[in-house]
Structure 1
Amino acid sequence: MTCITCNIPILCLIHTLANTTGSGSGTRRWVCKYCGKTFCTTTTWLIRHVSGLGGMGIGACSEVPPNIAEGVQKEHNIAQANIAARRRELATSSLEMLEEIEMEPSRTSGKRGVSQRDESESETIPDLSPTSQRSRQASLHTSFIDVGLQKQRQKAAKVEIERCILECNLSFNVVRTDAWKRMVKAIAQVGQCDDWYGVDYTRLRGLMLIEEKERIEVLMQPIKLGLQTYGCSILSDGWSDIRRRHIINIMVSSCIGIYFLRAVDCSSVGTRITGEFIFEHIKSAIEEVGRENVVQVITDNASNCKRMGELIESEYPSIVWTPCTTHCIDLLFEDIGKLPWVEPIISDAKQIITFIRKNHHALSIFRSNSEKELVRISDTRFGYIFYVLTRLYESMHSLRLTIIDTRWNAMPMAQSERAKYVQCKVLDMDFWAEIQNLIPVLKCIHIALRVVDMEGSTLGLVYHLYRHMQQGIAHVSTLSSSRKSDVLSLVDSRWEFLSCPIHGFAALYIHTSRVLICGQKLVFAT
């Protein structure tokens, strides 16, 4: 057994210099044979006591013979010199290993004249020299140190990333994106750089935007080339940004993908968004893409867009103006919401949701009884009537527990007319029965809305989806025949506005393709 610090044989030293008791740990209770004092220390303090050096919290022995003290000091100095030599050797081997890593490409390129057989033989013959063994031990020790340092650097990097996200008020979901993972991986591959801090502000707001635009143009080349084979649709829609500026977006859609073409700012003074105004911008987009590559133009159902469609069809006979199917189905939801027997249900549901969400006392009581939130009323959201009524019906039990809670009567607004009306409606079984009967009809429409609102070529599915939606509503058994006929009449009226010959041709193409595929399967099967 050897002391880790001084490399002196501990057992020999203990039996000759002191009497010890205790376990096999580093700290032992020992009695000096010369002065008779008792200590509880490690072997290092024993050496300092017997050698007459003292210090480090232990006194020097005054009874030890001078020859023994000199011998212990001499052995201790030799052990310390050996430790320093090993440390220098370890540092030298670490530097040599780094140099070998740096020179590895050049060495591999310089081995062209060596045969594979010589290399394999040199690899199979082990080097058993003491120098090679020491270098292997040093490299192994260095690898363990590198792993520990790597973990410490990763921990420090995580802390800095967390601080950056919190200080810059970034969304936590950004760490789930592929862009974030690519960025972190690219930064990690850079390595240690003292004078590099990432992206420069001036470059980010100037030259880098131009370079990124050029890179995106290169990525969009396959989509643009595919327009000549598959054709495309021009999509246009208006919206308002956070500064309340009215903007018209123009996009190009094909079966390969969708890309943004341009945005038109319509907020300048004196600008009137007429059909002619929209037609000029759509016309320039068609010419940019190529009139021979455009199949249809899709917009919403406003009167100015309808006028623009008439101008498009007169200017380009081969291009069809198609009303937005998603917008038409959303208008169907609004038409159903205006029926005389549906409008009171929607109005009462809005009053319940508005009162619960805007009264913080009522909202606190509701949240203590429910794990789900009530859907916020938003007229600009497609199919919001379905989402509002469905979540409200799912929260029926929680709402009942809310209004019978003892804290409800303690609210400042508990005795108001609106609170009493909400309490009465929540306890009204007829109200919930009406919602339960209406939800299956809205669900049929919502399924069609979800399909036509997703990205992809769904033109050939519009005809089939609408017919299936009509059949689903006709088979709903929760509504009376008169109410069902009211809904079906609205469905038919919207289809008269929405339907175009292009829907029938696209549906026929899909049906023909399926028949051909089925025929091929039958031929192969026979």
Structure 2
Amino acid sequence: MATKSLLYVERPNIFWSSCATRTINLMLESIGKMKKFKSTIDQAKALTIFIYAHHKTLSLMRKYTKKRDIIRPGVTRFASNFLTLQILYEKKDQLRIMSQSDEWEKLNPVKKTVKGVQATATLVKPNFSNDVALCLRVFEPLVKVLRMVDGDIKPSMAFIYGEIKKAKKDTMVALGNVDKSGTIYNSIIGLIDVKTKDRLDCPLHKAAYFLNPYYSYNDPSIFESEEVMDGFISATETFYHGDYDKQNQVLNNDVHKFKDQVGHFSKMVALAGCKDFEFSPAKWWGNYGTQVPTLQKMAIRILYLTSSASGCERNWSFFEGVTF
């Protein structure tokens, strides 16, 4: 953060963005610490630790799950927990049968230890699978965003702001009748907003959201949002810092052609081409933004950005293992 401030003095036209993978993982960890979900996660952890700590329990588990492990690595520690919960829920019937089998009963003295008794209780507990299912429904919207920002399939800057907004809506649907008063939902949204503030809601993120027709052409109210428009204006002033003529061109001319779908933006093929989530916003601007070259340059540069540093961190970890 200190380096960022120093860089702004020398290069006022640069953008700074927090690592989206790190930020979303912090959101998930905070939600996972809520009383409603923490006990379920802790029980799942204790169960998996017990099973993997003894070769007999591990062998028995693999027999009943048809050699399917219940621990899988994810892009972050919490993503790994989520994948484990998924498998526990997927294999709940087989694991329950295992816990009631003669083979499990014969696991003495391992089964009679405190951890063994707790593991057995977890497996036979009627509400455990329901609690796991609720955790999965609540965490899945953000985990989807986590996978997107950590992937190498496409630049994610164009989608991060919009997908976090979508994740909030999906979380409300996931809670359904479980949270009739809305207390849990409001707590979750509060945690997401705290982690998002000044990290994933900067002018750069809002400008990318504004310029991505997948969102703005399918929901024109985005163009009327004061918060989003303020972010776009600020991003324009930074991108063309000190160049008033280009700022004027973008804000007083080019952006209106984009908003009003004038020229190439009005073509049926252009409108059809931005309805698929898998499309490339930057390439779309390369095709249809030629009549507004000043805005086109800014849009392409922003929409081609990634939003996560996790790929770099993996490379650093690899390079640390290289000896000369």
- TM-score (normalised: structure 2): 0.62
Please name the residue that 2:54 is paired with. Answer: 359
Distance 2:270 2:46 in 1: 62
Distance 1:380 1:329, change over 3 A: closer
Please name the residue that 1:311 is paired with. Answer: 6
Please name the residue that 1:375 is paired with. Answer: 71
- Aligned-pair identity in percent equals 22
RMSD across aligned positions (CA): 2.6
Shift of 1:445: 0.8
Aligned residues of 2:24 and 2:146 also touching (Cα < 8 A): yes
Decide which structure has the larger Cα Rg and report it.
Answer: 1
Please name the residue that 2:242 is paired with. Answer: none
Please name the residue that 2:166 is paired with. Answer: 468
Shift of 1:479: 3.4
Distance 1:524 1:460 in 2: 17
Please name the residue that 2:204 is paired with. Answer: 502
Distance 2:271 2:75 in 1: 53
Please name the residue that 2:251 is paired with. Answer: none
Q: Give the aligned residue type for 2:94.
A: S
Q: Deviations over 1:181-235 (max 9, x none)?
A: xxxxxxxxxxxxxxxxxxxxxxxxxxxxxxxxxxxxxxxxxxxxxxxxxxxxxxx
Question: Which secondary structure does the structure 1 equivalent of 2:131 belong to?
Answer: helix
Please name the residue that 1:479 is paired with. Answer: 178
Shift of 1:505: 1.1
Identify which of 386, 389, 392 aligns with 2:85: 389
Aligned residues of 1:313 and 1:321 also touching (Cα < 8 A): no
Distance 2:82 2:146 in 1: 11
Report the more deviating stretch, 326-335 or 508-517: 508-517
Superposition map of 1:7-22 within 5 A = none
Aligned residues of 2:72 and 2:83 also touching (Cα < 8 A): no
Distance 1:317 1:331, change over 3 A: same
Distance 1:359 1:493 in 2: 41
* Structure with greater proportional helix content: 2
Distance 2:202 2:84 in 1: 32
Structure 1 portions without partners, runs of 5+:
1-305
Shift of 1:335: 0.8
Please name the residue that 2:111 is paired with. Answer: 414
Q: Which has the higher contact order (CA 8 A, sep 6+)?
A: 2
Identify which of 127, 135, 149 aligns with 1:438: 135
Distance 2:139 2:270 in 1: 42
Superposition map of 1:65-464 within 5 A = 306-371=1-66, 372-376=68-72, 380-381=76-77, 383-411=79-107, 412-455=109-152, 456-464=154-162
* Structure with greater proportional strand content: 1
Please name the residue that 1:490 is paired with. Answer: 191
Distance 1:380 1:505, change over 3 A: closer
Distance 1:354 1:382, change over 3 A: closer
Q: Give the aligned residue type for 1:491.
A: I
Please name the residue that 1:69 is paired with. Answer: none
Shift of 1:419: 0.7
Shift of 1:311: 2.3
Shift of 1:489: 1.2
Aligned residues of 2:25 and 2:76 also touching (Cα < 8 A): no
Shift of 1:382: 5.7
Shift of 1:521: 1.4
Distance 1:414 1:310, change over 3 A: same
Distance 1:405 1:505 in 2: 58
Distance 2:106 2:269 in 1: 73
Aligned residues of 2:265 and 2:271 also touching (Cα < 8 A): no
Distance 1:407 1:522 in 2: 63
Distance 1:453 1:509 in 2: 22
| 1:520 correspondence with 2:277 | no
Aligned residues of 1:462 and 1:503 also touching (Cα < 8 A): yes
Aligned residues of 1:312 and 1:321 also touching (Cα < 8 A): no
Distance 1:524 1:337, change over 3 A: closer
Aligned residues of 1:438 and 1:479 also touching (Cα < 8 A): no
Distance 1:524 1:349, change over 3 A: closer
Question: Which secondary structure does the structure 2 equivalent of 1:387 belong to?
Answer: helix
Distance 1:483 1:415 in 2: 37
Structure 2 portions without partners, runs of 5+:
217-257, 273-324
Question: Which secondary structure does the structure 1 equivalent of 2:17 belong to?
Answer: strand
Distance 1:385 1:497, change over 3 A: farther
Distance 1:332 1:389 in 2: 18
